[in-house]
Structure 1
Amino acid sequence: MTDARQPDRYALVADIGGTNTRVALCDGPSLLTETIRRYKNADHPGLESVIRQYFADEGAVDCSGACVAAAGPVRGGVANMTNLDWTIDGSTLARATRAETVGILNDLQAQGHAIGRIAPGNIRSVVPGPDGAAGDKLVIGVGTGFNAAPVHETAAGRYVAASEAGHANMPIRTEAELRLCQFVETAHGFPAVEDVLSGRGLERVYHWLGHEAGDPSERSSTEIMTALASGDDPRAEEAARLFTRILGTVAGNLALIHLPFGGLYLVGGMARAMAPHLDRFGFKDAFRDKGRFAGFMQNFSVDCVEDDYAALTGCAAHLSGSA
């Protein structure tokens, strides 16, 4: 940064995932992309350590505020990470950043606050909807885990409700899906949506397909996606197809629950990786396969957010009060 780092001008924002934490500065609602840095969570015992490293790397700044997005439930201002042994509270965040104002959001809440601030070039259409549709929206996160958050526009401003949708039971429509459910349940004790619709979920689907074929083998989600692109592993394509169909079913269920006439937005690393394949693997058909409500499902559009820093943008917007 070439500016003088005026006291109380900038705020710190962070997106804490299950694997990595991204940290940046913002000037009001504007994210300063040149200040974004990423840290591996495994290298740090907690968020304070990450922030200390960030200030060492980026340079000291007198923060006016700080807001973090955590991949886990937030209750009473305390975030408990779902896939990471970290607990984050306001006093810890204030101490680490020396900020006067702090905020802690669920990661999907932050993504919800970013909607409307994403560059059009970072939005990929998955399922078209009615032109000019307005109303509430729904953000669905598919990455290290799975979650969803409805976005409500109110007279008092935008409100993004938190949830832990990824820990609901996975849907079952076919005999094969029932066997997949039983396979997941045997290994993990409960067949949750996140156990299939996530990075590790894709790995389980691939493993299950090998188990079904009497030829068990395992590959990482990265290896599966690489094989999908190269076309050298039919099982990778079969796993991605099943993943896509279940994602369509779950997204359709959530659309009927929340009625997001302003659109659904897929976010997260796995969503971005799968986005180019969703059409050919039947996402739209699965999304709209709701019997007598199939026609009604045409009221909902689905887009994929391909901005890796959307949660940071959402934190900045929330902190500035301009979301």
Structure 2
Amino acid sequence: MSASAETVPGLAFPILIGDIGGTNARFALLNDETSEPVVFPVVPTGGYPSIQAALETSILPQATVRPRSAIIAVAAPVKGDEIPLTNAGWVITPADMIATLGLSDVIVLNDFEAQALAVAAIAKTDCAQIGTGEPLESASCAVLGPGTGLGVAGLLHTHATYFPVPGEGGHVDIGPRTPRDTAIWPHLETIEGRISAEQLLCGRGIVNIYQAICHTDGLMPEHTDPADVTSAALAGTDAACIETLSLFAGYLGRVAGDMALIFMARGGVYLAGGISQKILPALQQPEFRAAFEDKAPHSALMRSIPTYVVTHPFAALAGLAAFAQTPARFGVATTGRHWKA
């Protein structure tokens, strides 16, 4: 079994599609070129030793037909025949998937590549706009989202074709801007001495900010679960949690603005993933958009760029489904990412 150099999959239906994150794995089945995805219950990646075990135990027994091929998006760079997830224990080995599950083809993409495909596939009613700005038709877009990690991708549109641009932009450096940042920065947990955007803008990043605030102010941290911090913040019951979510929104706005400049994303910047949906009320407060626009000398440009939270519950699966059913719409190169039996 080897990776092919095709740019259009032409896979045999039924096609299994999957969005594999650091915490949860989401799967759906496409019966043919026009059918809606049949979505299966979410499975935790930590509950199974491998993707094959998760599929054989919890997904395929619920399917009315056996898939013949698969397109999987993973939270990791896609390179080589073994793909370890960045923030989970699974190692995706497409050859083993083919042998174990009886598939003819497996294509593996980056998870935020799938989120970028979703921007071209979902309706505007599946997004909530934050602030002002109008998208320019056929302009580039940027997609980022805090989850178990921080995913980033671009979406270019030219010659009636959408080109997703995957990357590891969540690992760019981020530094202090305000006196409050300077005070809490020494208390933030680092990775090998550096603070990347992902160290702040993900589930563990929420806890990282919260604990740094507590240590700075001489408080005893009460929370170790990001959901507890965000719940207390949204309920207005804990001052440290409220400040945590306010800072989180501002830092996310800063990084989102950076990505908007990198991709010249006049088609819009989209916040994907479950955390963005859960903290939408906080993102609608002034901090996010103010930080997004604060990019002198280009603040006027930034004010013209719209920002959205993707509210579709299975956006990445929608993007993969669009690619599987209408591959000619998308410029997705599968060289080194398409394995055949």
TM-score (norm 2): 0.85
Q: What is the aligned counterpart of 1:59 among 63, 76, 92? A: 63
- 3-state SS of 2:26 partner: strand
Please say if residues 182 and 191 of structure 1, whose CA atoms lie closer than 8 Å, have aligned partners that are also in contact.
no
Offset of 1:183 from its aligned partner?
2.3
- Aligned twin of 1:200: 204
* 1:104 and 2:112 correspond: no
Q: 1:201-216 residue pairs with structure 2 within 5 A?
A: 201-216=205-220
The 1-side partners of 2:296 and 2:252 are apart by 17
Offset of 1:169 from its aligned partner?
1.1
Q: Which runs of 5+ in 2 are unaligned?
A: 1-11, 331-341
Aligned residues: 316
Offset of 1:99 from its aligned partner?
2.6
- 3-state SS of 1:72 partner: coil
Structure 1 stretch displaced more, 70-79 or 142-151: 70-79
- Aligned twin of 2:336: none
- 3-state SS of 1:276 partner: helix
Residue 133 and residue 179 in structure 1: after superposition, are their counterparts in 2 closer, same or farther (change >3 A)? Answer: farther
Residue 30 and residue 107 in structure 1: after superposition, are their counterparts in 2 closer, same or farther (change >3 A)? Answer: farther
The superposition leaves residues 272-312 of structure 1 with CA deviations (integer Å, 9 ceiling, x where unpaired) of 11222213242111100112211111231111101121111
Please say if residues 136 and 266 of structure 2, whose CA atoms lie closer than 8 Å, have aligned partners that are also in contact.
no
The 1-side partners of 2:260 and 2:142 are apart by 8
- Aligned twin of 2:168: 164
The 1-side partners of 2:176 and 2:141 are apart by 26
Q: Which runs of 5+ in 1 are unaligned?
A: 1-7
Please say if residues 175 and 195 of structure 2, whose CA atoms lie closer than 8 Å, have aligned partners that are also in contact.
no
The 2-side partners of 1:55 and 1:246 are apart by 37
Q: 1:121-136 residue pairs with structure 2 within 5 A?
A: 121-130=125-134, 132-136=136-140
Residue 125 and residue 186 in structure 1: after superposition, are their counterparts in 2 closer, same or farther (change >3 A)? Answer: closer
Please say if residues 135 and 305 of structure 2, whose CA atoms lie closer than 8 Å, have aligned partners that are also in contact.
no
The 1-side partners of 2:189 and 2:241 are apart by 22
What letter is aligned with 2:109?
A: L
The 1-side partners of 2:307 and 2:241 are apart by 24
Percent of residue pairs bearing the same amino acid type:
29
- 3-state SS of 1:73 partner: coil
Q: 1:266-281 residue pairs with structure 2 within 5 A?
A: 266-281=271-286
RMSD between aligned alpha carbons?
Answer: 2.2
The 2-side partners of 1:239 and 1:213 are apart by 13
* 1:263 and 2:268 correspond: yes
- Aligned twin of 1:3: none
Please say if residues 184 and 204 of structure 1, whose CA atoms lie closer than 8 Å, have aligned partners that are also in contact.
yes
Residue 139 and residue 28 in structure 1: after superposition, are their counterparts in 2 closer, same or farther (change >3 A)? Answer: farther
- 3-state SS of 1:74 partner: coil
- Aligned twin of 2:23: 19
Residue 177 and residue 135 in structure 1: after superposition, are their counterparts in 2 closer, same or farther (change >3 A)? Answer: same
What letter is aligned with 1:127?
A: G
Offset of 1:132 from its aligned partner?
5.0
Give the structure, 1 or 2, with the largest relative contact order (CA under 8 Å, sep 6 or more): 2
Structure 1 stretch displaced more, 208-217 or 52-61: 52-61
The superposition leaves residues 50-75 of structure 1 with CA deviations (integer Å, 9 ceiling, x where unpaired) of 11124553136332320111111112
Offset of 1:108 from its aligned partner?
0.2
